[in-house]
Amino acid sequence: MLSTHLIKGILAAVLLVSLCLLPVFATRLPPESKKLVQEIYPAGNTRIDGSVELPDRNLLLPLIPAANPLKKLKPEGLQKYPANAEEPDLLIYENGWAHIKTERKNNTVTLKFPADLPEATKKKLLTMHLPSDLIVPNGFVLPKSMKALIGDLNIPIAEDVALMKPEFGRKPAATEAQGVYKGAGTFAIVSIKDGSIILLDAKNFTKVAEFPTEGTPSGMAFVDARIYIADQAKNRVLMLDPLARRFLGQIDLPAGTAPKGIAASPNGKWLYVSLSGSSEVAVIETETGKILVKTKAPTGPGKILITPDGVYVSVLSVTASELSVLASYNQRLIGSCKLGDVPTGLAIHPSEKIAYVSNRRSNTVSIVDLTKRTVLNTIKTGNSPTGLAISPDGQKLYVAQGRDNVITIYDTKMLQKLQEVRLPLDVDFPYAISLTPDGKHLLVSSQQTDTVGVLDTEKLEFSKQIQVGHTTHEIIWIPAG
């Protein structure tokens, strides 16, 4: 006869398996609603959570009725507010669903009912709710009068009067105490071969510090005045204070996971770490250092980047030659697409959900639509493209050609080559490249020499070479000095 403990163990195991097999549900707009909103906003892009991205960076968020009658929609049954607007702020469909447009206020996103909305209609809307799988916009705040729309979501609330103030949502001035300076900032550079982290002053382009790790550092991310460094050999994430110039500790990861890439969410709450040894992406809570969830990824995940709005997490898998995309609202893989051979560099457009991937063996750059997980176009490059960088205005793509020892600049709209600049003799086989925030200088690492190059992007000439004492690989710019 089975013991009580054994029965409980079996039931617990069955429950765990059942939970793991649960499907991920996403909001699906009724087909007629989707068709109507696309007719009114033809340039809009419908997301998996039922909201619609608009060209002006605002969103149309779906409101779901408490009782959802599945009756067929008629175009003439659509209500628009303002009534005569070509692009209204509120759409109410005959089947009870609605779409309401967000409003940007400084660094926040909020909602507001149109001025011409009848009181009875407003009361009816307040019986509805936002979808539980909504990809919540970065900086989203609801007025207290619309609190009923929250549903199952965790969204900050603000007094209506406070939201109306012009200064609401402005970022406070950066202070030295926050570890953020108003100066030029710092470049952090990894030497994989020698296991060192090197800091360069981004104003004078001089070496200011070096930190041995006794491991194999790879990807880096900066958040809350700390540099987080993925260490493959030691199965850990190191924490470095660039101002105090000392290590603060580490986050231990399971043996054999070999963390390679790392990125921080824009709100600083989570770290996304690619575990190349187990083909997973771990989501780590920065406050506690705990792994919240691990998601399976294509074989050999490496570089990770997040879109500026924090919605999509792009993961580059070299072994599988794929770019996979995770949705940050549920930390699940939502799709992937095939790339060229040996994908190496990864860059995200500053204002569009577009990723650029250099394919080292194919001598191409793939341009990927992250919302559709498809390759939109391909740029033919020189030999062995490696590092990528995009100008702050999104108009220029910089590509390091490893074997040709040049930096090539392309127009991101026309996909045409604009210029090509040869590297100095003491910078050989460029790997990663990184722009200063003003786009005036491009730092170039070297896999074969101990020198880092500094390209003046206005004069298109290398203005300086910095001897750092090691071959170099990954580079990030951080707003600290």
Give the list of residues 6+ apart from residue 346 with CB closer than 8 angstroms, or none.
303, 305, 314, 316, 323, 355, 356, 357, 358, 388
When pLDDT is cut at 50, 70 and 90, the band that residue 322 belongs to is very high
When pLDDT is cut at 50, 70 and 90, the band that residue 33 belongs to is confident
pLDDT at 392: 95
pLDDT at 260: 98
- Are 432 and 442 contacting, i.e. CB atoms less than 8 angstroms apart? no
- Give the pLDDT confidence of 86-139 residue by residue, as tens digits: 889 999 988 888 999 999 887 788 999 998 899 999 999 999 999 887 877 777
- SS3 category, 358: strand
Rg, C-alpha atoms of the chain? 25
| Domain over 181-478 is classified CATH 3.40.50.1820 | no
pLDDT at 481: 67
pLDDT at 45: 82
d(CA 466, CA 450): 8
State pTM to two decimals.
Answer: 0.69
Q: Region 457-474: what's the mean pLDDT?
A: 96
- Give the pLDDT confidence of 367-383 residue by residue, as tens digits: 999 999 999 999 999 99
When pLDDT is cut at 50, 70 and 90, the band that residue 397 belongs to is very high
pLDDT greater than 70 at residue 175: no
pLDDT at 298: 95
The DSSP output letter for 140 is B
- Domain parsing of the chain, residue ranges: 31-164, 181-478
HSE-CB of 230 using CA atoms within 13 angstroms: 28
pLDDT at 158: 84
Q: Flag the least confident range among 45-49, 55-59, 259-263, 318-322.
A: 45-49
Q: Region 321-349: what's the mean pLDDT?
A: 94
pLDDT greater than 90 at residue 177: no
Q: Flag the least confident range among 85-89, 186-190, 403-407.
A: 85-89
Q: Name the CA dihedral angle for 168, 174, 177, 178, rounded to a multiple of 10 degrees.
A: 80
Strands 157-158 and 142-143: parallel
pLDDT greater than 80 at residue 29: no
pLDDT greater than 60 at residue 5: no
pLDDT at 68: 56
Q: Region 318-333: what's the mean pLDDT?
A: 92
**Alpha-carbon distances, residue 316 vs 372, 379, 401 (angstroms):** 16, 18, 19
pLDDT at 183: 61
pLDDT greater than 90 at residue 40: no
pLDDT at 15: 38
CA 328 to chain centre: 9
Which residue in this structure is represented by tokens 């991920």? 24
Average pLDDT along the chain: 87
When pLDDT is cut at 50, 70 and 90, the band that residue 27 belongs to is low
**Residue 297, number of CB atoms within 10 A of its CB:** 25
pLDDT greater than 60 at residue 72: no
Q: Flag the least confident range among 82-86, 125-129, 195-199.
A: 82-86
Q: Which residues are registered as beta bridge partners of 221? A: 228
- Give the pLDDT confidence of 214-227 residue by residue, as tens digits: 999 999 999 989 99
Q: Region 284-291: what's the mean pLDDT?
A: 91
